[in-house]
Amino acid sequence: MRKVVYPKPGGVASIEIVEVEDPVPGAGEVCVRVHRAGVNFAELMMRQGLYGSSPNFPFTPGYETSGVVIEIGEGVSSVNEGDRVLAMTGFGGYSEKVVLPESRVFAIPESISFDQAAAIPVTYGTAYHMLVHLGNLTKGESVLIHHAAGGVGTAVAQICEAYGASLVIGTASSPKSDFVESLGMRFVDRDNEDFVQVSKEMTGGKGVHHAIDPVGGGHLARSYKAMRKGGKLYYFGASAAVKGQNRSRMAELSMWWGMPRFDPLSLMSSNKAVFGVHMGLLEDQSIFQGHLEALSKLLLEGKIDPIIDSVWRFEKIADAQMHMHNRRNKGKIILDFS
């Protein structure tokens, strides 16, 4: 079988596709023939050596896949050979076949496509975790989201609609304005508009109830300012540290330098909350499994439906990642391993 490998930190030219022996499941494990894998911004950061919790190089990235179970190990009872599944690989998902513990594999009904199944776990899981699990998003509340046209951004927009948010302000690059507005968000041009000012103007001067920031640095401080008293800020990414396809120490330093330090006394007196969110490092995986169950229900009820920007053959992985580096994606990018 073939799989994608990051041999060393680098740009997309460093990516390799290698031929290896087929993996064999041990006791309690499942082998999945992968059909689709989701592409995540974090996997671009890992390639640059910018992601603290990734394995040592060389390694195969790939958080999430969908496919068919082709072999089960001794003692496996929740899935059978031939089942269509979603697999939460964590790492290693950019492969034609993966072996993983049974607890990370979930059967999916015929009505859910492989594209949808590979597009849901990371983006919707993260959006749901922040807004519903931590934030108790309530009808009539307002939300600010950045990279609004991307995987997590489009998931946030749909979850906001499903839970009755009255206002979603979405920042993105200017060519995506129509797309962002088509999802019911108030578009803010990330380069030419001040999202703090727009957030205040749109909420009678108070600010938003929920501000979701995957950027970091001084941008995070501005997201905090866009919140009202009693508001909740979620910090969950470091896109400010990424400049182009190779690692930039200057961008990293500048992000760290600009990071706000929150004062507990001022959080207390304004009833504000700041959450740090890293789904890959959730200790209690049952929380994530609960999110997946809730999300499949929302999907089957037609309340969410992942927006697929594009599907690329996995041999074109470099082009697929450049599409994201160049900020072109509107929704989720998917790799085809079928």
Ligand X SMILES: NC(=O)c1ccc[n+]([C@@H]2O[C@H](COP(=O)([O-])OP(=O)(O)OC[C@H]3O[C@@H](n4cnc5c(N)ncnc54)[C@H](OP(=O)(O)O)[C@@H]3O)[C@@H](O)[C@H]2O)c1
Residue 73 identity: G
Stretch that binds ligand X, among 87-95, 202-210, 310-318, 319-327 (CB under 6 A): 319-327
Least Å distance, CB 233 to ligand X, is 14
Least Å distance, CB 35 to ligand X, is 20
Q: Does 190 bind ligand X (CB under 6 A)?
A: yes
Paired strand residues for 99: 31
Q: Does 185 bind ligand X (CB under 6 A)?
A: no
**Would you list the DSSP string of 180-236?**
HHHTT-EEEETTTS-HHHHHHHTTTTS-EEEEEESS-THHHHHHHHTEEEEEEEEE-
* CA atoms lying within 13 Å on the CB side of residue 39: 30
Least Å distance, CB 104 to ligand X, is 16
Q: SS3 for 273? A: strand
Among 65, 89, 123, 321, binds ligand X (CB under 6 A): 123
Q: Which is nearer to ligand X, 81 or 194 (CB)?
A: 194
Instruction: Supply 61's token pair.
Output: 């990235």
Among 95, 126, 158, 223, binds ligand X (CB under 6 A): 126
Q: Does 211 bind ligand X (CB under 6 A)?
A: no
Measured CA to CA, the distance from residue 313 to residue 299 in angstroms comes to 26
Least Å distance, CB 14 to ligand X, is 17
Residue 36 identity: R
Any idea how long the chain is? 338
- How many angstroms separate the first and last alpha carbons of the chain? 12
Q: Does 325 bind ligand X (CB under 6 A)?
A: yes
Among 31, 324, 334, 335, binds ligand X (CB under 6 A): 324
Q: Does 217 bind ligand X (CB under 6 A)?
A: no
Among 31, 99, 242, 307, binds ligand X (CB under 6 A): 242
Q: Which is nearer to ligand X, 162 or 277 (CB)?
A: 277
How many other C-beta atoms are found inside a 10 Å radius of the C-beta of residue 21? 6
* CA atoms lying within 13 Å on the CB side of residue 337: 28
At residue 279's C-alpha, the angle toward residues 180 and 101, to 5°, is 125
Measured CA to CA, the distance from residue 234 to residue 220 in angstroms comes to 9
Q: Does 278 bind ligand X (CB under 6 A)?
A: yes
Q: Does 186 bind ligand X (CB under 6 A)?
A: no
Q: Which is nearer to ligand X, 1 or 248 (CB)?
A: 248
Stretch that binds ligand X, among 85-93, 150-158, 194-202, 296-304 (CB under 6 A): 150-158
What number of chain residues touch ligand X (CB under 6 A)? 29
Q: Does 172 bind ligand X (CB under 6 A)?
A: yes
Q: Does 255 bind ligand X (CB under 6 A)?
A: no
Least Å distance, CB 123 to ligand X, is 5
At residue 51's C-alpha, the angle toward residues 23 and 217, to 5°, is 155
Cβ neighbours of residue 289 closer than 8 Å, sequence gap 6 or more: 106
Q: Which is nearer to ligand X, 29 or 252 (CB)?
A: 252
Least Å distance, CB 285 to ligand X, is 14
Least Å distance, CB 148 to ligand X, is 7
Cβ neighbours of residue 137 closer than 8 Å, sequence gap 6 or more: 131, 143, 159, 160, 163, 165, 210
Residue 139 identity: K
Interface residues with ligand X (CB under 6 A)? 40-42, 122-123, 126, 147, 149-153, 172-173, 176, 190, 214, 236-237, 239, 242, 277-280, 324-325, 327, 329
